[in-house]
Amino acid sequence: MDAPTPVKPDIRIQHADFDVGAEIAAVSAGRADAGAVVSFTGLCRAEEGRLAALELEHYPGMAEAQVGRIADQAVARWPLLALTVIHRVGRIAAGGNIVLVVAAATHRQAAFEAASFVMDFLKSEAPFWKKEHRRDGRAGGWVEAAHADEQALERWR
């Protein structure tokens, strides 16, 4: 019997918004062997009306490589049929899409765990920086890494 073809993750770092439904449909299309498609969409929070937007910066080339490494680890760890990771950069208004992870697998647990793994590592290990833009016009600062994000990685080690 032939070995299954390894999944090549679809990784995109982009300024443009994405269509969540279209991305899920693209991962689902023609996958009669898929029993589950799990998606996670990260949004820009208004922080109780305090924020107008976040500005996301990245180190071009390094960000794509690191997101690719994270996705490759997920593909190696779980029997996925497809994996898409999209991360936006630039100014994103409150309520706007920031990140999308879509994982397809034969069984739901693999899809859930892979999507969760990717998000946990994106939050802590991908080279993205967030600057706040306040609704009142005052200068916002750079967002510090959250201790909880680092703690989330422990379950995968």
CATH number of the domain to which 20 belongs: 3.90.1170.40
**Percentage of the chain lying above the pLDDT 90 cut:** 79
The mean per-residue pLDDT over the stretch 35-56 comes to: 96
| Amino acid making up residue 103 | A
Residue 134 within any structural domain of the chain: yes
For the chain, how many structural domains are there in total? 1
- Structural domain contains residue 14: yes
| Region of residue 56 (left: phi > 0; alpha: psi -120 to 50; beta: else) | beta
- pLDDT confidence of residue 1: 44
Does some domain include residue 105? yes
User: Is 86 among the domain residues?
Assistant: yes
> Radius of gyration over alpha carbons of the chain, in Å?
16
Q: Whole-model pTM?
A: 0.93
pLDDT of residue 5: 64
Residue-averaged pLDDT of the chain? 93
In a domain, 113, yes or no: yes
26 domain-assigned? yes
Residue 157 lies in a domain: no
Q: Residue range 33-57: average pLDDT?
A: 95
* The residue type at 94: A
Calculate mean pLDDT across residues 133-153.
Answer: 84
116 lies in which domain range? 10-147
Residue 31, domain member (yes or no): yes
The stretch 81-96 carries a mean pLDDT of 97
Query: Mean per-residue pLDDT for 73-99?
Result: 97
